[in-house]
A and B are shown apart, each in its own frame.
Chain A
Amino acid sequence: MMPDPLYRQIAEDLRQRIESGQLGHGDQLPTELELRERYDASRNTVRDAVKWLTTRGLIQTRPGQGTFVAEKIDPFVTSLTVDPATGRDDEGPVYLAEVTARLRKPTLSDPRVEIQQASAVIASELRLAEGSTVVSRSQRRYIDETPWSLQTSFYPMALVERGALKLIQAVNIGEGTVAYLAAELGLRQAGYRDKIMVRAPDAVDTAFFMMPDDGRVAVFEVLRTAFDDHVRPIRVTVSVYPADRNQFEVSVGSVPRDVPVPGGGSGNDGEALAR
C-alpha cells in the first residue's frame, strides 16, 4: 500500500492528539507556522491537513482568532428497547423522566398539529391508502437548551373519529399519547418496530440544529411504528437526531442493568477464572 500523503499523516497525528486529549476541546491549535516547523512541511501541506480536520468537524477556524479544537457535545444515549406498554411515547413524561434521570434538562416545544394526507411511506406504515387523512404532531426537543431532536408522529384520523380528540389539539398531552390512547380508546401499545437510517440533513434540520451547512454532520432518522394488541399500527413517529450529539442503545435478552465501573472489582472474577 502507498504511504499516506504527508498532509494525511499530519492530520492523522493531530486527530490522535485530539482524541487522546493531548489537545483539549476548545484549545487553540498551534499556528500554521508552528505546524510547518513541527512537521517540516510546506504551507500548503499544513493547510490541507487543517482543511481535512475541519471537514470532519474536529477543529474550527474563528476568523481573526485562530483555529481551535471543536467543543465536544456531551452525547445523549437514547434507549430503543423499553417496555412497549409505557415507553417512548412521543410527547410524554417518559422522555422528560429519561433525560432528567441523567441530570440533564429536557425541554419540549408545544406540538404543531396538522391534518394532512398520508405520504407513501406513512400510509404504508399505517396500512392506509395513500392520501388518507392523518393527524401529525411535531415537536422540537431540547436538552440543556441545545436543540436535540425533531419528532413528528402521525396518527390515523380514525382515532380522532373514535374519540381521541386531544390528538387534534395543539397542546401537549400531559400523560403522553400512549397512556392517553390506552385510557381513551382502550388501545394498548403492544410493540413497536424501529427503522434506523442515516442521511444528510435537509434545510429544516440544518437550521433547527444549528449544524454546519456543508452536510458533514449526518442525522439519524428513526422511523417508529407502534402496534396495538391486534398488531395493527397505531402511529408512526419519525425522529431526527443529529449524529454529533446522539447515540442509541439496544438491549436484548438478559443484560445487567448497570455495567460496573471499568476495571473496578471485575479483575477479581476475570483473574480467578483465568488462572
Chain B
Amino acid sequence: MYRRIAEDLRQKIESGELARGGQLPTELELRERYDASRNTVRDAVKWLTTRGLVETRPGQGTFVVQKIDPFITTLDSATGLGGDGDAYVTVVSASGRTAKDSIPRVEIQPAVGMIADELQLAEGSQVVSRHQQRLIDGTPYSLQTTFYPMRLVERGAARLIQAADIEGGAVRYLEEALDIKQVGWRDRITVRTPDATEAAFFRLPDDGRIAVFATLRTGYDESGKPIRLTVTTYPADRNQFVMNVGDVPNTDVVPRLESSASESQSLPSDTSGKDSRTSLPLAFADDPSVKAKPW
C-alpha cells in the first residue's frame, strides 16, 4: 500500500502536478486522500525521502526537492580536448552558464595502485597531480585531479608544477613544450557512493543516497604511451553524459558557440525535432506513411 502511494506521488512530482519546491500535502491530507493509516503515509513519505524526491524541513513541513539544472558533459571529441580546462570553460559558457574553476592545487606524490597502472609506471614512481574544483553558476559540479608522469616535468614541461592555470589547456601546452600530442583517450565510467570529501564539497546528504559518477580518463600520445590520467567525480543529481559515435545530427545537448555557428551551418540543425529534414531522401518521401513526418 505505502509503495502505491509513494509511486503515485512520485508520478505527480515527475509530471509536475506537484511542483518542485512546493509543499507536499500534510500527513492528514494524505491519509484522507489515500484512505490510509498514519504509518502507511509515513512509510510512503520515507520512501520518497530516501530517493531524494522530497525533504522534510523541521517545523515547516515536507517539500518537493528542487531539481538542480543538470549539466551535460560530452565524452567524445565534440567538446575538444577531453576534460581540458579551457575546452570545459568554453562549453559551459556556450550553454549560457558561468563556469568557475578553482586555482589548481599541485602535489607531487608517489603513484600507487590504479594511478601507476593507468600511467604504466612502476609503483611508487613520482607523479604530478593537479587538482581543481569546478563550479557552474556558483554550484559545485565536479572535482577533478589530473596525474602526469614526473618525466614530463623533467623533460621541460615546467608549468605542470606551477599552481596556476595553464592557459590554453595542458594538452596544448604539452604539445608546444614537448611536442607530445594527445591522439586519443579512454574513459572508464563508474558510479559509487561519495566519500566524505565529496559529500562535503558537493553538499550531498550524508546518507549516501546520491551517487557520484567517477570517470577515469587516460590520454595517450602517438606512440600509444599514456601521458596523463584524469579522475573526475560528478554528483549524479546534477550531471549527465553524452557520447556520439559515427554520424549523428547536430545536437541540442552540445551547446553551440556563436563563433562556431558558421562551421555548423551546413549541418542540419534539428533541435526542435520539427524541421522535418526538409531534404528527405526519395525512398522515404515516396512512402505514404512518412509524407507528413520524418517517418
Q: Could you say which of A132, A191, A274 contacts B248, with CB atoms under 8 Å apart?
A: A191
Binds B, one of A29-37, A140-148, A258-266: A258-266
Q: Could you say which of A8, A84, A161, A273 contacts B245, with CB atoms under 8 Å apart?
A: A84
Q: Which residues of A contact B165 (CB under 8 A)?
A: none
Which of the four size classes fits the interface of chain B? Answer: 35 or more
B245–chain A nearest beta-carbon distance, Å: 5
Contact status of A255 and B220, CB under 8 A, knowing A195-B240, A270-B149 = yes
Binds B, one of A89-97, A105-113, A224-232: A224-232
Docked pose: A27 CA to B14 CA in angstroms: 42
A57–chain B nearest beta-carbon distance, Å: 8
Q: Which residues of A contact B243 (CB under 8 A)?
A: 80-81, 193-194, 196, 250
Identify the interface centre among B222, B243, B295: most chain A CB within 10 Å of its CB.
B295
For chain B residues 201-257, which have a beta carbon within 8 Å of chain A? 207-209, 211, 213, 218, 220, 222, 224-225, 236, 240-249, 251, 253
Please give the residue numbers on chain A whose beta carbons come within 8 Å of chain B beta carbons, in ascending order. Answer: 4, 8, 12, 55-57, 75, 77, 80-82, 84-85, 123-124, 126-129, 132, 156-159, 161-162, 186, 189-200, 203, 214-216, 218, 220, 225, 227, 229-233, 243, 247-256, 259-260, 262-263, 266-267, 269-270, 273-274
Contact status of A252 and B211, CB under 8 A, knowing A227-B249, A247-B188, A270-B149 = no
B187: CB under 8 A from chain A?
yes
Q: Could you say which of A156, A203, A243 contacts B7, with CB atoms under 8 Å apart?
A: A203
Docked pose: A186 CA to B188 CA in angstroms: 34
B193: CB under 8 A from chain A?
yes
Q: Which residues of B contact A225 (CB under 8 A)?
A: 248
Contact status of A243 and B191, CB under 8 A, knowing A203-B7, A232-B294, A250-B76 = yes
Contact status of A262 and B116, CB under 8 A, knowing A250-B186, A251-B185, A256-B224 = yes
* A-B pairs with beta carbons under 8 Å apart, 6 shown: A124-B273, A197-B70, A215-B209, A230-B284, A251-B186, A253-B185
B246–chain A nearest beta-carbon distance, Å: 3
Q: Which residues of B contact A229 (CB under 8 A)?
A: 247
Docked pose: A98 CA to B242 CA in angstroms: 22
Who on chain B is nearest to A85 by CB?
A: B246
Docked pose: A227 CA to B225 CA in angstroms: 34
B8: CB under 8 A from chain A?
no
B99–chain A nearest beta-carbon distance, Å: 21
Q: Could you say which of B154, B193, B224 contacts A254, with CB atoms under 8 Å apart?
A: B224
A262 to B117, Cβ gap below 8 A? yes
B120 to A260, Cβ gap below 8 A? yes
Docked pose: A77 CA to B191 CA in angstroms: 12
A90–chain B nearest beta-carbon distance, Å: 15
Q: Could you say which of B196, B213, B251 contacts A193, with CB atoms under 8 Å apart?
A: B251
Docked pose: A249 CA to B217 CA in angstroms: 10
Q: Which residues of A contact B236 (CB under 8 A)?
A: 197-199, 218
B138: CB under 8 A from chain A?
no
A127 to B295, Cβ gap below 8 A? yes
Docked pose: A239 CA to B84 CA in angstroms: 29
A26–chain B nearest beta-carbon distance, Å: 20
B26: CB under 8 A from chain A?
no
Contact status of A192 and B185, CB under 8 A, knowing A12-B196, A253-B77, A263-B116 = no
Q: Could you say which of B72, B122, B182 contacts A270, with CB atoms under 8 Å apart?
A: B122
A197 to B188, Cβ gap below 8 A? no
